[in-house]
Amino acid sequence: MSEEFNWLEYSEEMEAAALEEEGRSGRRGLRRLLPRLPSLRRPALPRMPGIPRPRLPKLRLPSLRRRGGARESHQPSAADILGEQLNRPLEDLDDRLRALRERSVEASQPAPSHQALYAVDDLLAGPALQDRPGGVISAVSLSKAQQQQVEMLRDVVGGAPEAANAGGRSPRFFSGFALSAAPRLLGSAVLLLAVSLPFVSSDYAEGDLPPAEFHEDRHEPTTFYNLLDNLTGDDYVLVAFEYGPAAAGELDILADLLLRHILAQRAKPIIVSSNPIAIVHAQNVIRAINRSLDLAGEQLLHGEDYFLLRYLPGGALGLRELSENFDDVARISAKGLPTGLQFDTLDEMTEIVLIAASADDIRHWVEQVASAAEGRRLLVATSYAAQPLAQAYADSLDQVIGPIVGIRDAYTYGQKLETNFGALLPAEASPQEPEFEQLDADASSDSQAEGRRGPELPAEDAIATALPQPTETAPPTATYFATDRPQPTDTPAPRATDSPTATATATEAPVRVVVVTSGQRVNIRRGPTTVDDILGLGYEGDMFEVIGANGDGSWYEILLPGGVEGWIAEFLVDERLVSAAELAGAQASASAADTQRGERAVLQREYMLRLGKPAPRFYQAQAPASGDRLEVALNRDRAQEIPRLEAMTLGTLAAALAIIFGNVIYAARALLSLRGTRGD
Amino acid sequence: MGRGQRFGIALSAFVAFAVGVTTALSLLLGDNPALFGNQPGAEQLAELIAAPADALLRLATIVVALSIVIGIANLLYVHAGKLARGKFYSAVLLASFGFTVFWQVTRPGDTSLLEAAQLPIESALAALVALSLLHGGSRVLGKRADIWGLLFVAVVVVVLLASAPLAELAPLQAWRDWLMRVPVGAGARAILLGVALGAVVAGTRALLGQDRSVRG
């Protein structure tokens, strides 16, 4: 002990003695106070037999390095600098360091000799200086409580024998049990058994499967689904694959489903990642989808149906580059070839979908990408570990939708996808379409009606008759959706033909309206500022009734279809006076246009949900159609899905029981030792 | 410290400061014509201000990408040296690297190595972490038999049991929801605040020259 360095007992006499010693031994700094340790150099290992020693070419160092080397002779080494710092006399310390030292001295006063239950004071005590040999490291030591925490963490990863950590408690009663590796092996065996049994037999299944719909309290996952369900063939979706192989077991099903949903809508996913392995893994997920399409004779083609962009190096830096220079990033594929994509900004993406395993990835995407693409929503799918952070963002930012989390939500999402797309299958379509059947009768022949049930394309003329507006430009498979979704008459938007009174009042008084003049999509907000929530969207030519304006006239208060009030910026619109009939006609046209672009309706529905009002159903009636990609949505390999869920349930229960069992034993042991101590 | 060295330190600090301030101002003011009153020419001015950040960002990305290549080259060099000293694992690493390169050259676009090797290995490591956590969780009171240890175990058990979709455990789900919504949500937001404040402080210190590189 006498040769160990003790900060608290360090004095000028010791320093003088040490300097004298230094002169004799040539040792400098704190090392002069330490005993000489045996050399740590290991003996050279024998060379591997059969492997000749390679002769490496002698590299010429770059000139910069040589200059640096030359300078080193004039510079003090890092050890010298540290030594000088450590050897400063107390008077040289500034007030802050001196106060810190004094607190450390107080904190290092001996604690009570034995405590069965640690005192809170121990936890709150500052770092104490410990008697410990060593150089720089010894200057920052741990308090007793901190050391206990370190030991606990060390033990968590399977470390020290129990007896060494008994801390004065008698290990007699459980010593044999604790010293062996039995608890670890037993716990592992139980967990492995629990997660393996469901794959062997379904007899061991416990618990319910996740529901087919997201819980009504969680409207954001439903919004997530609806937003993807409203994509059309003209839409591009940026899909961020931010997970590596370690999280593949948890997130692959979700990624597969989201890609299938996007592809089934004939939208084009543009896959990007700041993780190089994730790009390759995304390629494998697409291949798995392609394998499932083999039977249908369809293949997804890179450059036509989907795009894999180049890796974004630099983490957050790479994401910043994505948001600032998306035009450049989108031009190069993962293989370094041109993609043919020509975008100016991220705002041209219809949606941004993020599939991330870690909280940091979510944070980077929100900070670097979502903030730069304010007009785009960020749809987040994530792991259980990153859920809290994703939820915090989703609760705070309207721009962030979700999160959809892990395997259980993936199952619900898959059920929704199968239910909605499965209903479009020809054999199941006929019982659900009485109204359209009747409307079709006049316009289509029997053979066309039959054709709609078969795999052939549906009767376009029949759809045109059924819908309130001409749908010649609608995708030819619209009937598949129209037959199972609510009727267009659910749309709350006023229509000239539905409301005879509108025509009657048309000549009575003009209505003050604004017409969107901006060529780009404009936001309709909850208040007259750009920081207010977005309630809806307006496109060029859209007409809204004016019900007010703000003080300086820079914002109009308008009435949205469905009776929702919102605000639109003045410079984006022209004010006019029109007849009520003209307004009703314009809004009906806009409603029909939403058939191709349903995001406006989804936003409005989302707003209604937040207000607690019943959601209008018109968003479904306006959803675009994509019947000829049914195979993408439905041909999934689900063999492992239910056993995985059951394994998760059994594994969770086994883990909880193991934790309860283990801790009950340790708590009993602590109580016994406490009794023993009091008895002593 | 010689005059040349002092000049080098001052120069590097100045370059770091100038680049940092330019990038920050360029990002803050650029691409935002509204800041200039939407007057004629405001858009061009905003683009002009945004240009330096754009260029520096591209440069930084290229530097990062190049550093990855240098890192790989350095890794190979270091392990070649270790191989010369008979290190077996270095031989495995170099052989794996060579095999992967050979595989990709002869089978372009074939990602089966990822599926067959890396994915199972990383999944297995993740599973080992789960086992370690289970083992640690079952020993918490053995290491820390105090109120905090009890609280920790109670929370873990409630969250785990409530995660199991069993009707018998439904009452626990309200507790779990509260735990996730209030304390965990507060923790997540605190982390976000801490990270944001840390980033501001670190950025400010770097810009003011308080934090410098070893040479700077």
Name the token pair of A80: 């010298």
Determine, yes or no, domain membership for A201: no
Determine, yes or no, domain membership for A336: yes
Facing A206 at nearest CB: one of B53, B166, B185:
B166
CA–CA separation, A276 vs A289, rounded Å?
Answer: 21
Instruction: Return the pLDDT at A113.
Output: 43
- Considering only A108-117, A150-159, B29-38, which range has the smallest mean pLDDT? A108-117
CA–CA separation, A193 vs A187, rounded Å?
Answer: 10
User: How confident is the model over A321-328, as a mean pLDDT?
Assistant: 89
> For residues A429 and A423, is the Cβ–Cβ distance under 8 A?
yes
User: How confident is the model over A546-566, as a mean pLDDT?
Assistant: 82
Determine, yes or no, domain membership for A100: yes
CA–CA separation, A224 vs A352, rounded Å?
Answer: 11
User: How confident is the model over A222-235, as a mean pLDDT?
Assistant: 87
Range of the domain at B14: 1-109
CA–CA separation, A361 vs A386, rounded Å?
Answer: 9
pLDDT digits (tens, 9 = 90+) for B52-111: 888 888 898 899 989 999 999 999 999 999 998 888 899 999 999 999 999 988 988 788
What does the buried/exposed string (b/e) look like for B151-174 if buried means 16 or more CB atoms within 10 Å of the residue's CB?
Answer: ebbeebbbbbbbbbbbeebeebbe
Determine, yes or no, domain membership for A459: yes
Residue A434 has pLDDT above 70, yes or no: no
pLDDT digits (tens, 9 = 90+) for B70-83: 999 999 999 999 99
Q: Are A6 and A122 within one domain?
A: yes
Looking at this protein, which amino acid is placed at residue B50?
A
Residue A318 has pLDDT above 70, yes or no: yes
Q: Are A510 and A479 within one domain?
A: no
Determine, yes or no, domain membership for A332: yes
Determine, yes or no, domain membership for B14: yes
Q: Are A397 and A262 within one domain?
A: yes
Instruction: Return the pLDDT at A268.
Output: 92
Q: Is A670's Cβ below 8 Å from some Cβ in B?
A: yes
Domain limit, last residue, from A622, A647, A672: A622
Instruction: Return the pLDDT at A508.
Output: 60
Residue A23 has pLDDT above 70, yes or no: no
The reply to whether residue A317 touches residue B114, judged by beta carbons under 8 angstroms, is: no
Structural domains in chain A (count): 4
> For residues B142 and A162, is the Cβ–Cβ distance under 8 A?
yes
Determine, yes or no, domain membership for B115: no
Taking CB atoms and an 8 Å cutoff, what residues of chain B touch A314? 60-61, 64-65
Q: Are A358 and A319 within one domain?
A: yes
Q: Are A478 and A518 within one domain?
A: no
- Considering only A258-262, A536-540, A610-614, which range has the smallest mean pLDDT? A610-614
Facing B131 at nearest CB: one of A117, A151, A191:
A191
CA–CA separation, A533 vs B181, rounded Å?
Answer: 23
Determine, yes or no, domain membership for B32: yes
* Cβ atoms within 10 Å of A305's Cβ, excluding its own: 20
User: How confident is the model over A529-544, as a mean pLDDT?
Assistant: 76
Structural domains in chain B (count): 1
DSSP H helical ranges for B169-211: 170-179, 185-207
* Cβ atoms within 10 Å of A228's Cβ, excluding its own: 24
Instruction: Return the pLDDT at A92.
Output: 76
Instruction: Return the pLDDT at A575.
Output: 86
Instruction: Return the pLDDT at A502.
Output: 40
Determine, yes or no, domain membership for B91: yes
- Considering only A39-53, A319-333, B94-108, B112-126, which range has the smallest mean pLDDT? A39-53
Q: In sequence order, what are the beta bridge partners of B141? A: none
CA–CA separation, A566 vs A546, rounded Å?
Answer: 10
Q: First and final CA of chain B: distance in angstroms?
A: 13
Determine, yes or no, domain membership for B83: yes
Instruction: Return the pLDDT at A678.
Output: 59
Mean pLDDT in chain B?
Answer: 86
Q: Are A9 and A140 within one domain?
A: yes
Mean pLDDT in chain A?
Answer: 69
Instruction: Return the pLDDT at A526.
Output: 77
Range of the domain at A119: 1-36+81-157
Residue A602 has pLDDT above 70, yes or no: no
User: How confident is the model over A138-166, as a mean pLDDT?
Assistant: 58
Shortest Cα distance from A48 to chain B (angstroms)? Answer: 5
pLDDT digits (tens, 9 = 90+) for A460-500: 333 333 333 333 333 333 222 323 333 333 333 333 333 34
Q: ipTM score of the complex?
A: 0.88
- Considering only A280-284, A546-550, A593-597, which range has the smallest mean pLDDT? A593-597
pLDDT tier for residue A21 given thresholds of 50, 70 and 90: low
Determine, yes or no, domain membership for B44: yes
Determine, yes or no, domain membership for B152: no
Determine, yes or no, domain membership for A75: no
Residue A438 has pLDDT above 80, yes or no: no
Facing B145 at nearest CB: one of A208, A653, A666:
A666
Q: Parallel, antiparallel, or unpaired: how do β-strands A511-516 and A543-549 relate?
A: antiparallel
User: How confident is the model over B208-213, as a mean pLDDT?
Assistant: 67
Q: Are A364 and A244 within one domain?
A: yes
Residue A156 has pLDDT above 90, yes or no: no
pLDDT tier for residue A603 given thresholds of 50, 70 and 90: low
- Considering only A218-222, A281-285, A507-511, A592-596, which range has the smallest mean pLDDT? A592-596
Shortest Cα distance from B36 to chain A (angstroms)? Answer: 16
DSSP H helical ranges for A231-325: 248-264, 276-293, 316-324
**Nearest residue on chain B to A191, alpha-carbon basis:** B131
The reply to whether residue A656 touches residue B84, judged by beta carbons under 8 angstroms, is: no
Looking at mean pLDDT, say which of A293-302, A315-324, A601-610 comes out highest: A315-324
Instruction: Return the pLDDT at A654.
Output: 92
- What CATH number does residue A253 fall under? 3.40.50
The reply to whether residue A156 touches residue B122, judged by beta carbons under 8 angstroms, is: no
pLDDT digits (tens, 9 = 90+) for A83-129: 777 777 777 777 777 778 777 777 666 544 444 334 434 444 444 44
**Nearest residue on chain A to B116, alpha-carbon basis:** A245
Instruction: Return the pLDDT at B213.
Output: 53
Q: Are A450 and A319 within one domain?
A: no
- What CATH number does residue A515 fall under? 2.30.30.40
Determine, yes or no, domain membership for A51: no
Sheet bearing A565-569, strands edge to edge: A534-538, A522-525, A565-569, A555-559, A543-549, A511-516, A573-578
Question: Going along A533-680, which residue ranges are E strands?
Answer: 534-538, 543-549, 555-559, 565-569, 573-578
Task: Choose from A250, A645, A666 for mutation: most chain B CBs within 10 A.
Answer: A666
Q: Are A116 and A247 within one domain?
A: no
Determine, yes or no, domain membership for A658: no
Residue A167 has pLDDT above 70, yes or no: no
Instruction: Return the pLDDT at A19.
Output: 62
CA B39 to chain centre: 41
Shortest Cα distance from A588 to chain B (angstroms)? Answer: 34
Determine, yes or no, domain membership for B3: yes
